[in-house]
A and B are shown apart, each in its own frame.
Chain A
């Protein structure tokens, strides 16, 4: 087994903060002026400024969602929507070019090692700008574009404009509109026709200052017959005031393509994680969402796959862990809009210390379709008597040539299993950890190695209760 990259990591490592004085110049709350400032700073084309302003108006007009977790604690006027550190070099190509304290943050999180290990390139985001970026030459030669979005809009304007917020339009919901107004940074990944990436690409975001809103936009375009695997991981240290994460991920899967999006989201306890992730899946393409969701005070996250092409397929594999004071409202949305589409959803959720873990699913099968198959499995492990689990999978089926199966179960760790394990000498805690590991294993084994390790480590920390 290769070196455990995250060995020696503990919760304190994630809670490491840098000086955030740069943030003071932008203030809190949202206004047209701030939006103009953002657009000007980034030197954006006119159409983008117009789009931002249009989104801002829609944001003001739309209501907060009237379902799901309580968002009363979220004070939109107190969030800092944009921060830019002049000290940092934009788009450093190698690690040496990156400013020292920012480097430290990433060193602690093991990014450079990950780059040395088998990955093609790493883009890491610090606050609202992408600091470090490197891409191996061979991919560049093949026409693969791996940039931060702020750069992509300048370098590849036609491509960017063609796809940006078409999959998730700014009319979708209030936080999509907000995102459209203040988005900053994020990854732009373009894989041309026929190119199959053999190594995964990853980025690592980080929120640092208090009440920092993260609005990164990830736009992934995989053309016909191409393959890509993209990994995203997030973290933020703990702070008193609420931080907001309203990012957006749009994925376009060309015909016969195969795209996997893996993410480990571990925002801090005060964060509101209201991310929107959606993929459009064309003919015979396969979209795989593999995710681990820990941290954040309130999460509303429902990766969505629109199966628009014949034979399109989506796999959703996810783990959610709700600890004390957390409300993890996650799930999967799949719309079958063509013949022979299929999906497979496996969701495992855990709740502990009074946390609430909710699975909200929406399966839609359009009328007059043939050969649609869907399989959903959602299991919940409730780790003590005060924790809760809710499962609400909705299935709206308007065709009849379908095979739909759904299974769900909820309950606690079986004491017989614990007795068996402890009778072999492992302690009670170890035995519980083993059972929990076994429970999430079907998802973990689909994550790339170092993320699998990180997920396991995070779950261990949550189980130990060493979380503040």
Chain B
């Protein structure tokens, strides 16, 4: 379980999150919605450990391990994954060498008998994933997210989700800027991963993705607090009424 208790987060001197409580069990899909500036991105980025965010109170435990004591890469190796809203472009480093290093690092952390893969074997491993997401193999030779369209960047994040098979995935507005086809591919990716008992936290602004990915719980985040939670029906209500009526 990913257990977040009473989490308080500051950016510089400003408090953004005022005590967040959240429990995500393996196989559950939680959705966080809310107006702009509510702190949605702050939440997922702080769970991952973005240096900009200061945890000023509360705790985060993943399967009973204290996440806050871990470095960012340790959290990833423990099975935490963040699909970025704006994936970084890093010129000069190919997707292949990046994914290969990360894959070897994470698998070695999970299994001490794991033997690091060389590029050739890795390509064989990743090929079916590329096909499933309708990504051309030339993608591996491109620099990290460099020159990728918005949709390509999101698909690249979902590819990584499928590749690393994390225990808990945080998706930061993965659906924004996607056309219907891309949205379907991304959602299929999430649903597949969910079948492997992955816990998912989706941050979104739009209700649209919830047509494809069935959430177990929907939370509304407003002014740094979760003000209301509910099931799928609650999501529909939000879509028709907006956020104003919630207090």
In the complex, A434 has a CB within 8 A of chain B: yes
> B90 contacts A417, CB within 8 Å?
yes
Do A435 and B101 form a contact, CB below 8 Å, given A420-B87, A425-B164?
no
User: Measured between C-beta atoms, what is the minimum distance from B87 to chain A in Å?
Assistant: 7
In the complex, B160 has a CB within 8 A of chain A: yes
A424 and B156 CA atoms in complex are apart in Å by: 13
> B90 contacts A424, CB within 8 Å?
no
Name B74-117 residues within 8 Å CB distance of A: 75-77, 81-82, 84, 87-88, 90-93, 97-99, 101-102, 105-106, 109
Residues on the A chain within 8 Å of B119, using CB:
1
Do A434 and B101 form a contact, CB below 8 Å, given A420-B90, A442-B92?
yes
Do A423 and B93 form a contact, CB below 8 Å, given A430-B101, A434-B98?
no
Among A422, A434, A440, the one with the most B-chain Cβ atoms within 10 Å of its Cβ is: A422
User: Measured between C-beta atoms, what is the minimum distance from A420 to chain B in Å?
Assistant: 4
| Residues of B within 8 A of A (CB-CB), count | 32
How many A residues are at the interface, by size bracket? 20 to 34
8 Å CB contact of A421 from B51, B77, B90, B143? B90
Name B1-60 residues within 8 Å CB distance of A: 48-51
> A439 contacts B92, CB within 8 Å?
yes
> A422 contacts B91, CB within 8 Å?
no
In the complex, A415 has a CB within 8 A of chain B: yes
> B102 contacts A415, CB within 8 Å?
no
Residues on the A chain within 8 Å of B109, using CB:
425
> A416 contacts B88, CB within 8 Å?
yes
* B166 to chain A: closest residue by CB: A425
User: Measured between C-beta atoms, what is the minimum distance from A460 to chain B in Å?
Assistant: 13
Do A422 and B76 form a contact, CB below 8 Å, given A416-B88, A428-B71, A430-B105?
yes
* B145 to chain A: closest residue by CB: A420
Do A423 and B71 form a contact, CB below 8 Å, given A417-B88, A434-B101?
no
> A425 contacts B93, CB within 8 Å?
no
In the complex, B135 has a CB within 8 A of chain A: no
* B110 to chain A: closest residue by CB: A425
8 Å CB contact of A425 from B49, B84, B90, B102? B102
> B143 contacts A419, CB within 8 Å?
no
A317 and B164 CA atoms in complex are apart in Å by: 38
8 Å CB contact of A419 from B72, B81, B92, B97? B72
Do A438 and B92 form a contact, CB below 8 Å, given A424-B102, A425-B109?
yes
User: Measured between C-beta atoms, what is the minimum distance from B74 to chain A in Å?
Assistant: 9
Residues on the A chain within 8 Å of B98, using CB:
421, 424, 434
A424 and B144 CA atoms in complex are apart in Å by: 13
Name A387-426 residues within 8 Å CB distance of B: 415-417, 419-426
Residues on the A chain within 8 Å of B206, using CB:
none
Residues on the B chain within 8 Å of A435, using CB:
90, 93
Residues on the B chain within 8 Å of A441, using CB:
91-93
In the complex, A154 has a CB within 8 A of chain B: no
**Residue contacts A-B, CB under 8 angstroms, 20 given:** A419-B72, A420-B84, A421-B98, A422-B71, A422-B73, A423-B49, A424-B73, A424-B105, A426-B101, A426-B105, A428-B71, A428-B73, A431-B73, A434-B93, A434-B101, A438-B93, A438-B143, A441-B92, A441-B93, A442-B92
Where the two chains meet, the residues of A that have a C-beta atom closer than 8 Å to any C-beta of B are 1, 415-417, 419-428, 430-431, 434-435, 437-442
